């Protein structure tokens, strides 16, 4: 499970866009509408970053300390055609639009794809995590390099590749998040904090962060607005529901059962889907380690059980622990895992595009908990275990 959690962070997610992957690629050259023009760009849900636009450059700030309003990193994004501005010695200066990027998460890669920028990708973390056929083919042809096949980034290969920018995740401070050799080489690194956001729309809004480095701000605004509208339409269908089914998530790993806290991304998603999450009162955004006995005492009569690691059947669950058969959700067959579509390594598209498309994930969950609200809906991310 720990390996899965780490992978989830790495894999750590426009009304007319019903799929996160770009079928009709957007032009790889920004239009006039995508150039720097607005004085301020609003960030509505995400707490981890802000973008301000001026006449000469954009200022992008990262807030890695949720207990402080002080930015932990500041990026000055200025046009390639302009001279480097003087905006402070503590800032990181990056010329935009970026032309060659290393994307160290499937989530960032999906956002780049949505923005029509997949041809800018020169490196990823590990092709094993991907379902995207374009990425697989580019890796096969040697046009996209893998920088993290092992437990850590291949620093030497990264230095040799010399990307214009690296997208990765961390805690928001490049001085501690970035390998010293990469920093010394002057390769810019943009630390994304999307995995620390607590709501689905906040995570999805990080597409604006990605877009800022490519002057695709207005396209990102449009795409996100579509997702927001679709999500809120579904939310209006469930916000007055009085009968909410109880829900348990995850499986036990080792000696502990890590359940999402009541302020977590998953807790918010389940609430928005019209469910009664059993640990909603736990005022934590992260996971809460519990014993099997504690979980069973509270959840043995739960209606649904979701997000079951990488298992594909009820028997596989019992192979982990035969006591899972004691839960009512198991007996009733109300077991749903978010791996309906996955590659031959077992990695689901949920971790690749689900965070970018919260409306589509929410639609699946509403259909599972309240099928009468979405008759005929075909699940995209979840499947019922048999």
Choose among 376, 355, 370: nearest CA to 272.
370
Residue 5, CB-side half-sphere exposure with 13 Å CA sphere: 12
pLDDT at residue 257 greater than cutoff 60: yes
Residue 149: the pLDDT is 87
Query: What phi and psi values does residue 79 have, to the nearest 5 degrees?
Result: -60, 145
Please state the three-class secondary structure of 35-84 as a single string.
CCCCCEECCCCCCCEEEEECCCCEEEEECCCCCCCCCCEEEEEEECCCCC
- Residue pair 181/154 in contact (Cβ under 8 Å)? The answer is no
Q: Which residues contact 149 (CB under 8 A, 6 or more apart)?
A: 126
Question: Which of 145 and 180 is assigned the larger pLDDT?
Answer: 145
Task: Please report, for residues 50, 113, 150, 325, the alpha-carbon distance to residue 98 in angstroms, rounded to integers and kept in the order given.
Answer: 19, 15, 27, 52
Amino acid 3: pLDDT:
38
User: How much is the pLDDT for 27?
Assistant: 41
Q: Is the pLDDT of residue 82 over 90?
A: yes
Question: Is the N-terminal amide bond of 303 cis, ω within 30° of 0?
Answer: no
* Local structure of 204: helix, strand or coil: helix
Q: What's the whole-number mean pLDDT along residues 100-115?
A: 97
| Vertex 122: Cα angle to 119 and 128 (nearest 5) | 100
Q: What is the pLDDT of residue 41?
A: 67
Instruction: Transcribe 355-371 into DSSP letters.
Output: TT-HHHHHHHHHHHH-G
User: Where exactly are the structural domains of the chain?
Assistant: 2-231, 241-384
b/e map 143-165, b = 16+ CB within 10 Å = ebbebbeeeebbeeebeebebbb
pLDDT at residue number 274: 98
Element (H, E) at 206: none
CATH H superfamily, domain 2-231: Nitrogenase molybdenum iron protein domain (3.40.50.1980)
What is the topology classification, in CATH, of domain 241-384? Answer: Rossmann fold (3.40.50)
Q: How confident is residue 144, by pLDDT bands cut at 50, 70 and 90?
A: very high
The pLDDT of residue 289 is above 60: yes
Supply the mean pLDDT for the chain. Answer: 89
Instruction: Quick: pLDDT tens for 318-346.
Output: 999 999 999 999 999 999 999 999 999 99
Phi (first) and psi of residue 249, to 5 degrees:
-130, 160
Name the one residue in this structure whose structure tokens are 């604006």: 208
Residue 307 and residue 250 in contact, taking contact as beta carbons nearer than 8 Å = yes
Mean pLDDT, to the nearest integer, of 85-93? 87
How much of the chain, in percent, has pLDDT values that exceed 90? 80
Same fold, 2-231 and 241-384: yes
Among residues 178, 169, 158, 184, the alpha carbon closest in space to that of 102 is found at 158
Interval 165-177 mean pLDDT? 83
Tokens linked to 106: 């499937």
**Residue 13 clears pLDDT 90, i.e. is over it:** no
- H helices of the chain, in order, are 2-10, 106-114, 133-140, 155-161, 174-177, 180-184, 200-204, 207-212, 217-238, 265-272, 292-299, 314-320, 328-332, 358-369
Query: Which of the four pLDDT bands, split at 50, 70 and 90, describes residue 177?
Result: confident
Find the range with the poorest average confidence among 16-30, 68-82, 231-245, 309-323. Answer: 16-30
How confident is the model at residue 40, as a pLDDT? 56
């Amino acid at each position: 499970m720990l390996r899965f959690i780490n992978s989830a962070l790495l894999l750590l997610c426009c009304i007319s866009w019903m799929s996160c992957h770009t079928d009709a690629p957007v032009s790889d050259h920004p239009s006039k509408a995508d150039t720097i023009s607005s004085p301020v760009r609003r960030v509505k849900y995400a707490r981890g970053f802000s973008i301000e636009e001026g006449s000469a450059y954009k200022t992008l700030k990262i807030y890695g300390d949720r207990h402080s309003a002080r930015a932990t990193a500041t990026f000055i994004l200025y046009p390639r055609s302009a001279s480097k501005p003087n905006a402070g010695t503590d800032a990181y200066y990056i010329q935009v639009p970026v032309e060659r990027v290393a994307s160290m998460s499937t989530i960032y890669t999906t956002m780049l794809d949505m923005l029509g920028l997949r041809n800018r990708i020169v490196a990823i973390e590990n092709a094993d995590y991907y379902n995207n056929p374009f990425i697989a083919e580019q890796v096969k042809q040697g046009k996209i390099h893998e920088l993290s096949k092992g437990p850590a980034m291949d620093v030497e290969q990264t230095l040799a590749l010399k990307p214009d920018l690296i997208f990765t995740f961390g805690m928001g401070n490049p001085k501690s998040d970035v390998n010293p050799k990469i920093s010394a080489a002057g390769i810019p690194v943009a630390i994304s904090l999307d995995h620390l956001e607590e709501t689905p729309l906040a995570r999805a809004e990080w597409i604006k962060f990605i877009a800022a480095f490519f002057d695709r701000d207005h396209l990102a605004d449009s795409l996100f607005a579509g997702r927001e509208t679709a999500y809120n339409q579904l939310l209006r269908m469930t916000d007055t529901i009085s009968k909410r089914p109880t829900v348990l998530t995850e499986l036990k790993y080792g000696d502990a059962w890590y359940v999402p806290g009541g302020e977590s991304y998953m807790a918010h998603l389940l609430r928005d889907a019209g469910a009664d999450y059993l640990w909603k009162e736990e005022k934590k955004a992260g996971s809460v380690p519990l014993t099997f006995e504690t979980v069973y005492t509270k959840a043995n009569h739960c209606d649904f059980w979701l997000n079951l690691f990488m298992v594909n059947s009820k028997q596989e669950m019992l192979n982990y622990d035969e006591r899972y058969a004691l839960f009512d959700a198991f007996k009733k067959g109300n077991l749903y895992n978010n791996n309906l579509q996955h590659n031959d390594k077992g990695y689901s598209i949920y971790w690749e595009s689900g965070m970018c498309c919260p409306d589509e994930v929410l639609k699946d969950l509403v259909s599972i908990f309240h099928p009468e609200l979405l008759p005929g809906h075909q699940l995209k991310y979840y499947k019922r275990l048999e």
